[in-house]
A and B are shown apart, each in its own frame.
Chain A
Amino acid sequence: MVLIGLHFQDTLNMDKTTIIKIADLAKIEIKDDELNDITDSLKKILNLVDEMNSVKTDDVVPMSHPLNLSQELRKDEVLEDNKRDIFQKDNKYTENGYYKVPKIID
């Protein structure tokens, strides 16, 4: 109940600072001129989502699989060969089987 209270509050306060924080977590860049539109549309979507609160769900077990099945496991054995060369064929940013990225550690 407390969480729902918090979430409702936050939906109303879905402000630009929150959006910038989420965008950073999602590794998405938002330009200044896009921020108003994005904030506005996310608020509208969260208002739609808030309609879920019209239904009481206290005693409901959440759905974990549409067919109530649990994850099937298999033996931990190698079934396929390494196809690294094929996977890297179209990537120009590779060297000696590695992917090249900007320097991370000085």
Chain B
Amino acid sequence: MHNKTVSELIDDIKNKKVSSLELTKHFISRIKKLDKKLNSFITITEEHALREAKKIDADIAKGIIKPLSGIPFAQKDIFCTKNIKTTCGSKMLENFISPYDATVVEKLNNAGMIIIGKTNMDEFAMGSSNETSYFGDVKNPWDLDFVPGGSSGGSAASVSARLIPCSTGTDTGGSIRQPASLCGVCGIKPTYGRVSRYGMIAFASSLDQAGVFTTTAKDCAILLSHISGYDPKDSTSSREPVPDYHSDCLKKFKPLKIGIPREFLDGLDTNVREVFDDSIKVFEANGCSIKKISLKSSKISVSAYQVVAPAECSSNLSRFDGVRYGYRAESVKNIDELYKKSRSQGFGQEVKRRILIGTYALSAGYYDAYYLKAQKIRKIISNEFAQAFKDVDLVLGPTAPDSAFKIGEKSNDPIAMYLSDIFTVSANLAGLPAMSIPMGFKNKLPLGLQIIGNHFDEPKILSLACHFQNITDWHTKKPKISGD
């Protein structure tokens, strides 16, 4: 059962080959058995899931079937879930129970899905290796000595090990695509504003976007249709109509014009380059035209990102003051000490580092030199993409500069860690949709192919990804830990 795709499980439930309760029990037992090694879950919601599964089965018996009835899934622990703990990977929110559901949660619940757990993540989504989580490192299912990527490391690892058929994630600078690449699964970050951010704990509001992890591009399309759309509770959500991404995937593939930025290939690891070139040959053989393009400013994308993201994080995280919710320090003498001790004891090292950088960048006299400068660079990056999309339909490159790195290898070197997002942050800065799909291996560790589209061109991205998966089998490869 655990090797089936979401699409297959939907059919099995509809055709009564399996009940929701059976599916739910199966995946919970896998998590209990295998997650001791991976640590991809922070919370398992067994009681809630079994109760909901029984309700869904009762509905199905009465002929009430919703589009995703009875499909178990995991929520990244950044999405607020009513009556279920939401920690955001932080001591600050270790015991936080949200009084409401995030819109993404509400939409997937309404579609009939069943939450069976909340996945581990870098603290407040700040990290590229899942090592900043207060709840411990997540291990890469392909090799337990390696990181799964981050920040949505638990969501990627759990899908990769087939502990769950799909999960949600968030992506501020690559937090869906980079772990998808490192764990050998599919992950999509839609256009900024495509999915509501209501109830998604904010990191950098002008960059954050929700998305999903699955084993196939088709499944990404199915889930994306359900989480997308305008939400009056998020003033940055888009009113652009939501297409039926799934049916777009099923249409006959029309060859597309593909752009490959020179800057993504300069100095690229030889093995990664070979695997990437092989993928491009697949598209060429299927009628796509390939054009070398230039995204000159993508090289300084991480520099601009390291201003915008910390600046917005320092503002967003000022809400954690130990007063209304979250960790509160004991035995304090005055209000200043309450703020300082609660924040210092509640936040981990990386979060504090980013708050400090952000506070510096926004402080009097430095705003123009840092935040304004970074917003100008964003504009240049965005213009370069706009120019590229006049000539090509999609931009392709490797998702990450390399395969997964060892746990501990970069944890004391923030710059090396930040540069693992070099190929992903540009799409966030420009608000573009982008996806990572498996394209091969280096030393038995998976590599991801990144497909970037113009604003709201998710159908083109998904169409190319689905087509690639119709003629290759990289997405079907599983880590040994997942068993048969």
A contact set with B: CB distance below 8 Å: 3-4, 6-7, 10, 18-19, 22-23, 25-30, 38, 41-42, 44-46, 48-55, 57, 60-67, 69, 71-72, 74, 83, 86-87, 89-91, 93, 99, 101-104
Interfacial chain A residues near B34, Cβ < 8 Å? none
Q: A25-B363, A41-B353 are in contact. Are A91 and B344 (CB under 8 A)?
A: no
**Chain A residue at smallest Cβ distance from B371:** A62
Q: A38-B353, A52-B373 are in contact. Are A3 and B415 (CB under 8 A)?
A: no
| Secondary structure class of chain B's binding surface, majority of residues | helix
Contact B332 A102 (CB under 8 A): yes
**Chain A residue at smallest Cβ distance from B357:** A45
Contact A42 B430 (CB under 8 A): no
Contact A42 B353 (CB under 8 A): yes
Contact B303 A66 (CB under 8 A): no
A65–B375 CA distance with the chains assembled, in angstroms: 10
Interfacial chain B residues near A52, Cβ < 8 Å? 300, 303-304, 307, 373-374, 377
Interfacial chain A residues near B353, Cβ < 8 Å? 38, 41-42, 45
Besides A27-B343, A41-B414, A52-B304, 9 new A-B residue pairs in contact (Cβ under 8 A), listed by A number? A3-B366, A10-B366, A44-B415, A45-B414, A48-B303, A50-B303, A57-B377, A87-B324, A102-B338
Q: A28-B343, A66-B192, A90-B325 are in contact. Are A55 and B297 (CB under 8 A)?
A: yes
Contact B382 A48 (CB under 8 A): no
Contact B335 A49 (CB under 8 A): no
Contact B382 A66 (CB under 8 A): yes
Contact A67 B99 (CB under 8 A): no
A91–B99 CA distance with the chains assembled, in angstroms: 12
Contact B340 A27 (CB under 8 A): yes
Contact A28 B97 (CB under 8 A): no
Is B238 interfacial (CB 8 A cutoff)? yes
Residue from the list B235, B356, B418 in contact with A23, Cβ < 8 A = B356
Is B211 interfacial (CB 8 A cutoff)? no
Q: A74-B232, A91-B324 are in contact. Are A28 and B335 (CB under 8 A)?
A: no
Contact B306 A66 (CB under 8 A): no
Interfacial chain A residues near B334, Cβ < 8 Å? 102-104
**Chain B residue at smallest Cβ distance from A88:** B324
Interfacial chain A residues near B4, Cβ < 8 Å? none
A83–B306 CA distance with the chains assembled, in angstroms: 37
Is B264 interfacial (CB 8 A cutoff)? no
A34–B388 CA distance with the chains assembled, in angstroms: 46
Residue from the list A65, A89, A103 in contact with B206, Cβ < 8 A = A65
Contact A102 B333 (CB under 8 A): yes
Contact B344 A28 (CB under 8 A): yes
Interfacial chain A residues near B360, Cβ < 8 Å? 18, 22, 42, 46
Is B127 interfacial (CB 8 A cutoff)? no
Contact B375 A64 (CB under 8 A): yes
Residue from the list B314, B339, B347, B415 in contact with A48, Cβ < 8 A = B415
A54–B304 CA distance with the chains assembled, in angstroms: 12
**Chain B residue at smallest Cβ distance from A5:** B369
Residue from the list B238, B332, B379 in contact with A62, Cβ < 8 A = B379
Is B323 interfacial (CB 8 A cutoff)? yes
Residue from the list B306, B337, B344, B430 in contact with A45, Cβ < 8 A = B306
Interfacial chain B residues near A44, Cβ < 8 Å? 414-415
B174 to chain A, nearest CB (A): 16
**Chain A residue at smallest Cβ distance from B364:** A25
A87–B359 CA distance with the chains assembled, in angstroms: 29
A58–B192 CA distance with the chains assembled, in angstroms: 27
Residue from the list A26, A54, A99, A103 in contact with B314, Cβ < 8 A = A26
**Chain B residue at smallest Cβ distance from A52:** B303
Interfacial chain A residues near B355, Cβ < 8 Å? 26, 28
Is B189 interfacial (CB 8 A cutoff)? no
B200 to chain A, nearest CB (A): 16
Encoded as 1 (CB less than 8 Å from any A CB) or 0, chain B from 241 to 279 comes to: 000000000000000000000000000000000000000
